[in-house]
Amino acid sequence: MPRPDFDKPMSTSSLITHLVDRAETVIKAAEAANYPLEMDPYRAQLFDIFALAEASGLLIEMGPHLQADALAERLSERWNLKAIGEAGLKLSATSNDPVMRRVQLLWSACRLWMAWTYAWERWDFYHSDAPAADAPAAPETEQAAAQTQSESASKQPE
- Helix or strand (DSSP H, E) at 127: none
Cα of 152 vs its chain's centroid, Å: 43
Q: How far apart are CA 66 and CA 84, in angstroms?
A: 24
Instruction: Round to whole Å and give the CA distance between 122 and 130.
Output: 13
What are the pLDDT tens digits along the chain (158 aa)?
444 555 566 788 888 889 999 999 999 999 999 888 899 999 999 999 999 888 888 887 766 778 888 888 888 888 887 766 555 555 555 556 677 778 888 888 889 888 898 888 877 777 776 555 555 555 555 555 555 555 555 555 54
pTM above 0.75, yes or no: no
Cα(13)–Cα(33) distance, integer angstroms: 30
Rounded CA separation 55/141 (Å): 35
- Cβ atoms of 106 and 81 within 8 Å: the answer is yes
